[in-house]
Amino acid sequence: MKKYVLSLILILLAISLSNGQDLNGAWQSTVTNNEGVSVQFVAIVSGDYFSQAFFEKENGKFMGTMGGALSLKNGSLTYTLEFASFDPDLVGTSDSLPYRLDGNKLYVDDKTWTRLDDGSPSNLAGAWLISGRKRDGQIVKRDTSGPRKTMKILSGTRFQWIAFNTETKEFMGTGGGTYTTTNGKYTENIGFFSRDDSRVGASLQFNYELVDGDWHHYGLSSKGQPIYEVWSKR
């Protein structure tokens, strides 16, 4: 299982950069596993970072996630994992893989990966770290350089958030799906959620604005509690 998953992650990593092409965005592939279950893989690539989640295609049941940093050199894609929900021992490990790209398709062995978007149309595409919250009317900033991080990575239409610790190799949770931004409203449509599969299919709407390069995100949480978060680009 570990070898199978690592092969898939390396394949998805290869979509990030190729010969100067801008291949940021979201990609997907569907694989039928040994139990006959159709598994959906979705990868989001933003600059030097990526995430991948895989879940049952039929019902969104979460199966796993991984991601971290990446780079391309001499025809090989090199990655270093920052989180891996299925095996914490993989955190901090690096590897490389050759690949072949053809337009919006990625071919590796007998698998084909298809582009979902190229990072547009949203102005929020990127890898973000939570850097502050509003408390008692004041923005309280937090240090983003420590090992414990909450990252949200977005393409033009897809999002995933991940809470993890690169020092302890702990994975705390993730969720993701599709999203839209319209007239200052940010709406998430949940496609998978590691902590509660029953949330799949739900939608949440927030207000948002970009202030001095930071993403201010506020509204009511899934539990109906008011939240105000500040996210900064990695």
What local confidence, expressed as pLDDT, does residue 119 receive?
93
In this predicted model, what pLDDT tens digit does every residue of 105-116 receive, in sequence order?
Answer: 876 456 678 999
Residues 6+ apart with CB under 8 A from 227: 133, 206, 217, 218, 219, 220, 221
In this predicted model, what pLDDT tens digit does every residue of 17-67 receive, in sequence order?
Answer: 444 445 689 999 999 999 999 999 999 989 999 999 999 999 999 999 999
Q: Taking 80 as the threshold, does the pLDDT of residue 13 lie above it?
A: no
Residue of 199 and 223 predicted with greater confidence:
199
In this predicted model, what pLDDT tens digit does every residue of 151-166 receive, in sequence order?
Answer: 999 999 999 999 999 9
